[in-house]
Amino acid sequence: MSSEAHFSNERVFIWFCSWGLLSLTCAAGRLSVSTQNLEVHKHLKRLNKPAVKSIQSPDGDIIDCVHISKQPAFDHPFLKDHKIQMNPSTIPDLMFGENKVSEKPKEKFNPVTQLWHQTGACSSGTIPVRRTKKEDVLRASSAKRYGKKKHRTVPLPRSADPDLANQSGHQHAIAYVEGGKFYGAKATINVWEPKVQSSNEFSLSQLWILGGAFGQDLNSIEAGWQVSPDLYGDNNTRLFTYWTSDAYQATGCYNLLCSGFIQINSQIAMGASISPVSGFHNPQYDISITIWKDLKEGHWWMQFGDGYVLGYWPSFLFSYLADSASIVEWGGEVVNMEEDGHHTTTQMGSGQFPDAGFSKASYFRNIQVVDSSNNLKEPKGLNTFTEKSNCYDVEVGKNDDWGHYFYYGGPGRNPNCQ
């Protein structure tokens, strides 16, 4: 239920009560509304830390500059006495020789920024945190579930029965590697603003760092861009991260909406809008994301672009990922609710199939993995997976400029996808 509908129903309820038409129900209802409001208020207080400075973004967001030591991560009981690591002890090196990848493709690419940069900046010693509003929490099924993925959202590339994955309403078009030990991954991701059919669906493009089985104990670290009206209240393309250590059940969350990820960067806000985005036959924009394991400290670090080391997930958050990842995935994911009996029209990537090509279809380029020697390498044995290729598809390729790359995506419902 939308926040507007919630408050509308609440006003009707109060009107009936004021006329004495629902006496016993009103008493219980007031208690219910009061309890919900109290839960939401307490949750907002936990998430929205005192700000040194607040910035009004053109898209309606408020970005709070929070002192680095006051960020949500430190609500975690295991982080009470944690000394913030301000720099990773190691950063992955680009391999040369046969694995060398050019970072200057022939096509012209443009820098991406965040909308809130137009109206302000956070100072050193603080981190930018997107303020959570009451209506954000009310869109969730409960305050406890706010900022968490619904269960069974992980891709199942090894599943012998793709229909089993479809039952969760999530569909993918991904490339992946498995069968080894991986210590990170990197990709440059084309940025678009796909159309999402209903508010409880989303469309995202990301990389997954996975450890464990696809069961109750899956470990996952994720990052990329997403359009999620349910989470953010609009259709903007936003930078996001996610983590879980128990297959999306109780642990983990998006961005900084729970304790866990420790941010050190003052310039990039998790969950904030990315601008500009790519257009058909128009300039193309992309973002580079690197996630790697610091082999000395054991933490998993994230870098955005070439110069923004954002922060890290402490190793104690994970079981399998405390050592290494067993699968790395790159690609797109959508929610397909099929409420009217037909496939959703929610787009993945640009909304075009892979064969549309550059400036029309969305892509991942310069795909790499991090090995045990902290080197970036081209992946060996790159596979692909999609539940319904008539709805969303993926096609891989390789050349000197882009290294390993793939185009992916699709429009969802179409004459071949009903």
- List, by residue number, the catalytic residues: 222, 333
Q: Which residue has the tokens 């301000």?
A: 86
Sequence-separated (6 or more) residues with CB below 8 Å from residue 64 = 48, 49, 51, 53, 54, 55, 128, 129, 130, 131
Q: Name the residue among 119, 111, 112, 113 with its Cα closest to residue 65.
A: 119
Residues 6+ away with beta carbon under 8 Å from 49: 64, 66, 67, 70, 71, 72, 129
Say which residues have a Cβ less than 8 Å from residue 245's Cβ, sequence separation at least 6.
Answer: 217, 219, 251, 252, 317, 318, 319, 321
Joined tokens for residue 133:
């509003």
Q: What are phi and psi for residue 160, nearest 5 degrees?
A: -80, -10
Q: In the block, which residue shows the tokens 């402490």?
A: 314
Please state, in angstroms and rounded to a whole number, the distance separating the CA atoms of residues 304 and 306: 6
Closest CA to 321 of 188, 199, 217: 217
Among residues 371, 296, 342, 314, which one has the least CA distance to residue 89?
296
d(CA 35, CA 389): 46
* Structure tokens belonging to residue 81: 């006495």
